[in-house]
Amino acid sequence: MSTIESVLKEDRVFYPSEEFVKQANISGMQAYRDLCAKAEADYEGFWAELARKHITWSKPFTEVLDDSRAPFVKWFADGELNPSYNCIDRHLADKADKTALIFERDDGTSERISYQELHDRVCQVSNALKQLGVTKGDRVIIYMPMIAEAVIAMQACARIGAIHSVVFGGFSSGAVKDRAKDAEAKVIITANESVRGGKRSPLKATVDEALSSNECPALEHVLVYQRTDTEINWVEGRDIWWHDIVDQQAKTCEPVPLNAEDPLFVLYTSGSTGKPKGVEHHVGGYLLGAAVTMHWVFDYKPTDVYWCTADVGWITGHTYICYGPLLVGATQVVFEGVPTYPDASRFWSMIEKHKVTTFYTAPTAIRSLIKLGDDLPEKFDLSSLRLLGSVGEPINPEAWIWYYEKVGGSRCPIVDTWWQTETGSNSIAPLPGAFPIKPGSCTLPLPGIMADIVDESGQSVPQGHGGSLVIRRPFPSLLRTVYKDDARFVSTYFPDEFGNKLYLAGDSAATDDDGYIRIMGRIDDVLNVSGHRLGTMEIESALVAHPLVAEAAVVGKPHEVKGESVVAFVMLKGERPTGEEATKIAAELKAWVAKEIGKIAQPDDIRFGENLPKTRSGKIMRRLLRSLAKGETVTQDISTLENPHVMEQLSQSA
């Protein structure tokens, strides 16, 4: 086995302040090691203690882990609880008047919703769903803008034991149809329109289109929230206005006791091939992961104002908006808009306005904000911040440093979190009051997460080498299966080559001399250049470290001598260069990568675009870049791209 080479060295280390360490929920490295030792010594006892501490059970569990049918496992299988009760009702005795949600609309107006108000509104929607015939186990598609009502709808489903499947509001009608069809949804909850960045987008019309082919026979109703005054098409008998049915409902609704292993939601994630996978999460284990990581990774304090900028259409919005913050009784910001509207200072002005203490966003957002206004954060009072977080992809060291210095004022630890839709909650991440932090590293596995880096035979690779990231033991928040497709669950995540025993994350990773983990990219983003296996992320980080570069994506293309050659797609901080200027900057960047990493990683081909092809959620569409690199005609669907026009730019070499 040739291990994946890790060639990017990062020597900078940042220590949490004494003040932060003193107040931290997990304080100092020894406290982390003690937790890990506890999990090693008594794995089931470790998780059972946490489950009793962080979750309120209507019927306590006596069984902890049943792995007799591994990889199909059960956690706390004879226990009962309700997610909505855990997120709302249990706080009412002492937090009824505490703000649960600060909802800021696209236009800058905001409303504060207390835990009592949230309870009342969730109960009303639960009762409305019951009136529409929704019962425990029925599937409900939620296709909503990023508004408070999206969170309310998710909680309302959980309250009555309906299984929600949220579809990101930027997805097309085909995506809605596929998911509603696969889930056999009984109801779709949507809005007439969404409002983002001052623009309106049709949601209800998209749902109408999705249902026009009559491929969703299980569907009975479409519940429509009126977000704008735009008129919409109406199907009598099927369509129901939210205000017509919800507003007249009682503000009490008994939470339905659910078994810990009842499904809570199905969230579809695109596979590299074939139809999307319905990742299925179950009630008890998932909620435990969300609650524990709020305490450990986000160091939650009752005085915090927490803000995760994700959309509820993604797993981050499920765990760190809808469930995690509410489980711990937090006050959080829910934001409808985009970071660049009405101008590039929107995030910073909101942090100042709402006195945000904990800010969790994606590297893509950070890099685009650097490009739009490197000095903007300094114009706002960001002194309320005490903790920053990064999610979604590895953060390159230079963006990390900017985030640390310019946004956090060099005083806020950054929790660079590695996890997946499938893991349900943060799995490898710094504990901010315990770990020295290195830019670009998600540091160490959380206590109870038995992560490892292995070669093709499943053997651990030596420290300092790279390989495939795996998790050796099941943990509570890990997915239970792929919805209606157990065989795909096993073949994708517990493959035969690892004896169906190791969870294969699909990422390549390496450790450094301290055992810190650095994610090097997806396994299918590993390049083999002249016998050297290089992670694309490392080359991307080197490129982004150049003062001219805002963002970069690297792919491989076949090369008759080297096996593969490196192709870099680059967005500069300034204008897109053309002609001689492009050639000159390309040569400069090639030399830079050679200096930063080594000649082996130097791109053979650099192409400039005013942006990179991204989905509406900000993810770079690497499969399209791979086609462009090879000079193939792009036949894939590009309708979900935010910016299809850049494809032409990126097809031209500098």
What torsion, rounded to 10 degrees, do the Cα atoms 7, 466, 444, 506 define?
120
Q: What is the mean pLDDT of residues 473-482?
A: 97
The pairs formed by 418-422 with CB atoms below 8 angstroms and a separation of 24 or more are: 418/394, 418/442, 418/507, 418/517, 418/519, 419/391, 420/315, 420/505, 420/506, 421/267, 421/269, 421/279, 421/314, 421/315, 421/479, 422/269, 422/279, 422/478, 422/479, 422/493, 422/505
Q: What is the mean pLDDT of the chain?
A: 92
DSSP H/E element including 315: helix 315-317
pLDDT tops 60 at residue 3: no
Identify the band that residue 560 occupies on the pLDDT scale cut at 50, 70 and 90: confident
pLDDT one-digit tens code per residue, 296-324: 999 999 999 999 999 999 999 999 999 99
pLDDT tops 60 at residue 273: no
pLDDT tops 70 at residue 612: yes
**Percentage of the chain with pLDDT > 90?**
76
Q: What is the pLDDT of residue 272?
A: 43
Q: Quote the CA–CA distance of 13 and 437 in Å, as a whole number.
A: 6
pLDDT tops 60 at residue 2: no
Q: What is the pLDDT of residue 1?
A: 37
Q: What is the pLDDT of residue 4?
A: 55
**Percentage of the chain with pLDDT > 70?**
96
Q: CB within 8 A of 459, min separation 6: which ones?
A: none
Q: What is the mean pLDDT of residues 5-34?
A: 89
Q: Quote the CA–CA distance of 592 and 544 in Å, as a whole number.
A: 11
Q: What is the DSSP string of 480-546?
A: -EETT-HHHHHHHHS-GGGTTTSEEEEEEEEE-TT--EEEEEEGGGEEEETTEEEEHHHHHHHHHTS
Q: What is the pLDDT of residue 605?
A: 95
Q: What is the mean pLDDT of residues 487-497?
A: 94
**Residue 455 CB neighbours (<10 A):** 17
Q: What is the pLDDT of residue 7?
A: 56
> Is the whole model's pTM more than 0.75, yes or no?
yes
Q: Quote the CA–CA distance of 608 and 181 in Å, as a whole number.
A: 40
Interstrand relation of 481-482 and 277-282 (parallel, antiparallel or unpaired): antiparallel
277-281, 328-332, 455-459: the lowest-pLDDT one? 455-459
Interstrand relation of 358-361 and 387-390 (parallel, antiparallel or unpaired): parallel
CB 646 within 8 A of CB 615: no
Interstrand relation of 187-191 and 221-225 (parallel, antiparallel or unpaired): parallel
Identify the band that residue 473 occupies on the pLDDT scale cut at 50, 70 and 90: very high
Q: Which position has the token pair 């969730």?
A: 122
Cα radius of gyration rounded to whole Å, the chain: 24
**Dihedrals phi, psi of 48, to nearest 5 degrees:** -65, -45
Where do the H-state alpha helices sit in 14-160?
A: 18-23, 29-41, 43-54, 83-87, 92-95, 115-131, 148-160
pLDDT tops 70 at residue 9: no
Q: What is the DSSP string of 2-45?
A: PPBB--------BPPPHHHHHH-SS-SHHHHHHHHHHHHH-HHH
pLDDT one-digit tens code per residue, 350-387: 999 999 999 999 988 898 888 888 889 999 999 999 99
* Token pair listed for 62: 């006596």
Q: What is the mean pLDDT of residues 85-91?
A: 98
Q: CB within 8 A of 347, min separation 6: which ones?
A: 309, 339, 359, 361, 365, 369
Q: Quote the CA–CA distance of 113 and 256 in Å, as a whole number.
A: 24
* Token pair listed for 127: 């009762």
* Token pair listed for 577: 């260069």
Strand locations in 229-293, DSSP E?
A: 239-241, 258-259, 263-269, 277-282
Pick from 127, 56, 45, 52: nearest CA to 91: 56
Q: Which position has the token pair 């390496």?
A: 510
pLDDT tops 90 at residue 241: yes
3-state helix, strand, coil in the chain (%, to 5): 35, 25, 45
